[in-house]
Amino acid sequence: MNPLNLVLASMLMFPGHASQAHATHAPAASAPVDKLMQKYQGDAPGASLLVIRDGVPLVRQGYGMADLEQHTAAAPDTNYRLASVSKQFTAASILLLAEDGKLKLTDSIRHWLPSLPASTDKVTLQELLSHTGGLIDYEDLMPANTTQQLNDQDVLRMLSATSKTYFAPGTAYRYSNSGYVLLGLVVEKASGESLPAFMQQRIFKPLHMDHTLMYVRGGPEVGHRAYGYSQVGGAWQRTDQDLTSATRGDGGIYSSIDDLALWDAALYDHRLLSDASRKLAFSPHVKVVGEPYQASYGFGWRITGDTLWHSGESIGFRNVIVRWPRQHLTIILLSNRNDPEPYRTVLAIAQSFLAH
């Protein structure tokens, strides 16, 4: 049975809109996993954890609370703001449009967004995908008196008003939210659809990720939503949104571990992306610098040893997906709190599963 059918079979056993009582644990894994997840338990902001091998969920569990005020427990179907885990979906959207012949990865960003300054003429889409475009971070361009949330058009306007860059395109690595916001706008230009609609039609719907969406205020609401929290003075305060929480291509998707199981399954074959596109996404285009972990960067993915992974953090959320494709093992940890950072927790959880 292929990975998707195995996942779908598991979803029939453990329906997507399940309560915490329907979570699953492989008995041998339960004690060490629960110990590593101890910080997320109890009457505090929590997490949802998936360990899946060969399409079978070995751990599928919610811990703690998705909504403290309503005392709603986190569960496998809880939807979290993915933050930068969204970047792999933006990259996939660009790759799909390249397959369609609607754009070329070697296109200049200015070809698609002509309001950008002449200094961006040689910045290509593939350089933005790998964070080698050298564009200024939009966070550094925000006026000090900003009080309204930025949207993608605000980012485009700010970048269009500066000719500054960090370095010549293709000569260095610097993680760039600006680049992925612009890539989302290119998806809209090339497809003729809004970014949320394109992802819905080309990614989420075909993969039956029925509860995943790119959230925009005034659009469809997020069901089974986790709200973000930060610890302030020893107490948890809701910190669900900030001034940069409304941009889309760099971090705007909400999803659950159940839906991300379906995404993970699709990355093993060509049901969504061609073999060539997946090779591009998962190939090391540049060495990562300025970050605390050794890695190379593909298109929307970090690459470290045998793993493909990406973290995502925004105010009140900390997430990570780590894939071991050769072992057909994936671990996803989504959390609605500012601490702890989950990557090392996932690597620790993986040890007992990689040993078998």
Which residues are marked as active site?
Answer: 84
Residues 6+ apart with CB under 8 A from 146: 243
Check the CA dihedral 85-86-89-94 and report its sign: negative
Half-sphere exposure of 183 (CA within 13 A, CB side): 37
Residues 6+ apart with CB under 8 A from 155: 138, 178, 181, 182, 247
Distance CA 189, CA 284 (A): 28
Distance CA 327, CA 305 (A): 13
Contact call for residues 225 and 79 (beta carbons, < 8 A): yes
Distance CA 264, CA 268 (A): 7
Distance CA 245, CA 327 (A): 35
Show the beta-strand stretches assigned E in the chain. 24-25, 47-53, 56-63, 65-67, 72-73, 80-81, 213-214, 229-232, 235-238, 253-255, 286-287, 296-297, 302-304, 307-314, 317-324, 329-335
**Which DSSP string corresponds to 92-112?**
HHHHHHHHTTS--TTSBHHHH
Distance CA 131, CA 123 (A): 11
